[in-house]
Amino acid sequence: MKILITGAKGFVGQNLVASLENIRDGKDRTRNIVVEEIYEYDIDSTKEQLNKYCSDCDFVFNLAGVNRPKDQSEFMEGNFGFANMLLDTLKKHHNKCGVMLSSSIQATLLGRYADSDYGKSKLAGEKLFFDYANETGTNVYVYRFPNLFGKWCKPNYNSAVATFCNNIANDLEIIVNDPDVELELLYIDDLVVELLDILEGKEHHCVFDGINAVGNNDGKYCYVPTTHKVALAKIVELLEKFKNQSNTLVMPEIPEGSFDKKLYSTYLSYLPKEKIIFPLKMNTDERGSFTELLKTENCGQISVNISKPGITKGQHWHHSKWEFFIVVSGHGLIQERKIGTDEVIEFEVSGDKIEAVYMLSGYTHNIINLSKTDNLVTVMWANEKFDPEHPDTYYEEV
């Protein structure tokens, strides 16, 4: 399959091209798609290139458009005008390949979009595509996108999320005029999944109830089923949590498929180099070191313990807290004894055979470095964050 992408250097275009390249190069085998060529057309491309691509392509993703012109008249020229040229070029070559159009929810011209010149140009482009389908019998796929966000989105352009992520990551001011304003947001990876679905004949169709897309197999429009409606205040609150993670070590809850997870991935893509790395507090003494790595809101914390040769650490027990000890380097011995008894259970552990050992509630326990030359490195997970006010930790030798 030879695929033409217009607006290939834009936000959506970059992400789509990267995914198609993975398929073309055999790095992504999850799709039943064979990609032979990817034709990238953008503002610096020539009409000769467009002519060649349109003569040869098997599908077109028309992502090209004008979002922030110097003059409002450029909306119609950049959006409707280019779409018209694209379709005329396909017709010239009698190429009836499928064509996807990137439109906007503003094309509904409803509510705050009623007087949108951008929306009017997008609506004109939609009509052009539907007329083209009726005239040629070609399959067209018209999407009205809500607000988009994700990696590589340009800040201070047309995405509030991109601007917030960039500014908070770089310690710049953000301005929120109305924190209660709710945005419908579409994540770039969800969008790209839908675009690839078109190539497999699995696109989602809809009709519009006002500005809301309603799934309908017979609908003339297409849509991405997964979007998120989130207030500006919530977005800022989450981003501040993400920013503070390097200080608190607390990882907020990020359930699979959640907006929080997608926003965190987006936020990280805007970090400046100096914030990609951050120090951790190592508690060191003559025995070695202990460092907290990560804390969670509801699932405890992870730490790493380094014991010098011959050293014994631990020698304490907990009423309710329990832990995993996982030796990843070195050779050691873990001992556990139930409080009030003399019976000791032992586990010889090594980084050569990584195993997880439960530290049981009500059992005093230790870990001994059996090596005379090498450090013992142990990853430790506790089922709760350490609370100095209620440590639930009591000294007693095994």
Catalytic residue numbers, as ranges: 118
CA nearest neighbour of 196 among 24, 398, 395: 24
Residue 7 vs residues 17, 84, 120, 131, 389: alpha-carbon distances, Å: 10, 15, 20, 22, 57
In 3-state terms, what secondary structure has residue 282? strand
SS3 57: coil
| Sign of CA pseudo-dihedral 299, 304, 310, 313 | negative
- Please, what's the largest Cα pairwise distance for the chain? 90
Quote the tokens at residue 372.
Answer: 């005379």
The stretches of the chain forming alpha helices (DSSP H) are 11-24, 47-56, 73-75, 82-92, 117-136, 160-169, 188-199, 232-248, 259-268, 273-276
User: Which residues have CB under 8 Å from 237's CB, separation 6+?
Assistant: none
End-to-end CA distance of the chain: 68
Q: What are phi and psi of 243, to 5 degrees?
A: -60, -40
Per DSSP, the three-state class of 141 is strand
CA pair distance 321, 141, nearest whole angstrom: 56
Q: Who contacts 18 (Cβ-Cβ below 8 Å, separation ≥6)?
A: none
